[in-house]
């Protein structure tokens, strides 16, 4: 029958006490009768001395040593099981180990998707794709918007120069004003980005918001600094609320250090062209201003004809300038209608030069340069329809058809409206 715990402890204690007593007697006797190391045998009536209990080399000891409990370390609350403190392991003694796989951050994943998203289409494939609205909706929803958080812009006071607090310029491509006076007013900040064009050509466009009362001087400063010769405006001044302030004069006006004069005006089918003289001191430049006012915010035009004519008109003006400087494009926020115009321009050049177009890749590229370009699914579908219309106008058998395709539309346009009094015709 098994002994209880108290009985077992008592038995062990008795045996230990007896062993210690015998050991004391042996030590006492050995001190009175020494044993010489030269003697081959012990005394006949004496047993060999029992080694001390603490001697670990004695294999025959029958009484185990008393277990000595290790001192317990006081455990803090955060070290107890169930705490939220991560366990740190020292793996330096494990030898060679396989390197850990790198973990992509959400930001890196977004940039990777935008850089690698492609869907090149031939002209027939483009026609089919433009009719598949559900597929286009899914395709659009998968494109990361790449909006910028205000914490990523380390520019004190930039908010007063932003028309919309959630539409901010990507830091990597934003335009910085270099003029000391303009830079001193707000760190050279303007809500604008350089945008790549066809073939990844750097700084082909500048996408920006509609100027505000307190940013008109900055706007003209940017136009002057970048030597831009073309401005494309795709918004009304007011659509229920202010979308853009009037930043050019009726005839002549002063904006900071800039004098702006309207030299000529022409009404086209869907848009208006103004030729402006921009002057600083004794130096002046000619800037062409295109105003497409019939496209309302968050909507799409009834037809693509006026937009295609505008795209072709602007492209022909760019090719006539050496160098043209970046084409400045703005709507209200600088991402929706602005993105549609730039994407249409790039897509038309793709079709002209390669016979193919990559709408998905183009929009992804635009969003790398400025977040949120092409603002709605409807705008994305309209972009497909616009390029599909343009591809139908191109005849592969006629090398000159790419020029005449939009020229025919110009000839079919309504007669130009009478010129405003005091302005020269173009």
Helix (H) or strand (E) holding 242: strand 241-242
Note the pLDDT of residue 103.
58
| Among the listed residues 167, 168, 175, the one whose alpha carbon sits nearest the alpha carbon of residue 153 | 168
CATH code given to domain 108-412: 3.90.190.10
CA distance 273 to 261: 14
Note the pLDDT of residue 323.
87
331 marked as binding residue: yes
* 331 given a catalytic annotation: yes
123 marked as binding residue: no
375 marked as binding residue: yes
Note the pLDDT of residue 154.
86
335 marked as binding residue: yes
Q: How many CB atoms lie within 10 A of CB 122?
A: 14
What is the number of H-type helices and E-type strands within the chain? 11, 13
Helix (H/G/I), strand (E/B), else coil: 392: helix
CA distance 48 to 270: 121
Note the pLDDT of residue 191.
98
Note the pLDDT of residue 26.
46
Query: 264: burial class by Cβ within 10 Å (0-12, 13-18, 19+)?
Result: middle
Note the pLDDT of residue 186.
73
405 marked as binding residue: no
Note the pLDDT of residue 105.
72
Query: Tokens 């958080």, residue?
Result: 149
299 marked as binding residue: no
Q: Is 101 left (phi over 0), alpha (psi -120 to 50) or beta?
A: beta
Q: Are 273 and 289 in contact (CB under 8 A)?
A: yes
Partners of residue 260 on adjacent β-strands: 253, 278
312 marked as binding residue: no
The pLDDT profile of the chain, 426 residues, written as one tens digit per residue, is 555 555 545 554 555 555 565 555 544 544 444 444 444 444 434 444 444 444 544 445 555 555 555 555 554 434 444 444 444 434 344 344 444 455 567 889 999 999 999 999 999 999 999 999 999 999 999 999 999 999 889 888 899 999 999 999 999 999 999 987 766 677 799 999 999 999 999 999 999 999 999 999 999 999 999 999 999 999 999 999 999 999 999 999 999 999 999 999 999 999 999 999 999 999 999 999 999 998 887 789 989 999 999 999 999 999 999 888 999 999 999 999 999 999 999 999 999 999 999 999 999 999 999 999 999 999 999 999 999 999 999 965 544 444 444 444 433 333 333 444 456 556
Biggest distance spanned by C-alpha atoms of the chain: 144
Q: Are 161 and 215 in contact (CB under 8 A)?
A: yes
Helix (H) or strand (E) holding 360: helix 359-369
CA distance 279 to 261: 8
Parallel, antiparallel or unpaired: strands 205-208 and 272-280: unpaired
Partners of residue 267 on adjacent β-strands: 272
Q: Are 136 and 381 in contact (CB under 8 A)?
A: yes
**pTM of the shown model:** 0.71
Q: Are 61 and 51 in contact (CB under 8 A)?
A: yes
Note the pLDDT of residue 204.
98
CA dihedral over 23, 26, 28, 31, signed as positive or negative: negative
Note the pLDDT of residue 417.
39
Note the pLDDT of residue 142.
97
Cα dist. 378→292, 337, 373, 416 in Å? 19, 11, 13, 30
Catalytic residue among 244, 331, 340, 348: 331
Helix (H/G/I), strand (E/B), else coil: 327: strand
């Amino acid at each position: 029958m098994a002994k209880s715990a108290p009985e077992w402890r008592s038995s062990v204690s008795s045996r230990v006490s007896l062993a210690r007593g015998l050991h004391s007697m042996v030590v006492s006797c050995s001190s009175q009768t020494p044993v010489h190391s030269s003697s081959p045998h012990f005394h006949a009536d004496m047993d060999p001395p029992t080694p001390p209990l603490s001697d670990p080399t004695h294999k025959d000891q029958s009484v185990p040593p008393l277990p000595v409990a290790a001192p317990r370390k006081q455990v803090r609350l955060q070290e107890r099981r169930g705490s939220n403190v991560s366990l740190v392991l020292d793996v330096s003694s494990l030898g060679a180990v396989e390197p850990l796989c790198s973990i992509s951050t959400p930001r890196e994943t977004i940039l990777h998707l935008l850089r690698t998203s492609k869907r090149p289409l031939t002209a027939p494939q483009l026609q089919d794709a433009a009719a598949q609205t559900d597929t286009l909706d899914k395709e659009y929803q998968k494109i990361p918007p790449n909006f910028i958080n205000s914490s990523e812009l380390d520019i004190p006071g930039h908010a007063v120069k932003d028309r919309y607090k959630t539409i901010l310029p990507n830091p990597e491509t934003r335009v910085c004003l270099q003029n000391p006076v303009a830079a001193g007013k707000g760190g050279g900040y303007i809500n604008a980005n350089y945008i790549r064009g066809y073939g990844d050509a750097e700084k082909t466009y500048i996408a920006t918001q509609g100027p505000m009362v307190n940013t008109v001087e900055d706007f003209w400063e940017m136009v002057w600094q970048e030597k831009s010769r073309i401005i494309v405006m795709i918004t009304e001044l007011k659509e229920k609320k202010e979308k853009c302030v009037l930043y050019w004069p009726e005839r002549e006006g002063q904006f900071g250090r800039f004098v702006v004069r309207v030299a000529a005006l022409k009404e086209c089918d869907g848009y208006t062209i103004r030729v402006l003289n921009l002057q600083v001191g004794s130096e002046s430049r000619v800037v062409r201003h295109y105003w497409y006012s019939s496209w309302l915010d968050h909507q799409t035009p009834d037809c693509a004809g006026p937009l295609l004519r505008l795209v072709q008109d602007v492209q022909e003006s760019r090719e006539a300038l050496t160098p043209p400087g970046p084409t400045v494009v703005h709507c209200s926020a600088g991402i929706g209608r602005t993105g549609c115009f730039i994407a249409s321009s790039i897509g038309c050049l793709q079709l002209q030069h390669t016979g193919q177009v990559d709408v998905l890749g183009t929009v992804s590229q635009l969003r790398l340069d400025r977040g949120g370009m092409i603002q709605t699914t409807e705008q994305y579908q309209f972009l497909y329809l616009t390029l599909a219309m343009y591809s139908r106008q191109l005849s592969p058998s006629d090398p000159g058809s790419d020029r005449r395709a939009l020229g025919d539309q110009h000839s079919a346009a309504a007669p130009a409206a009478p010129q405003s009094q005091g302005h020269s015709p173009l």
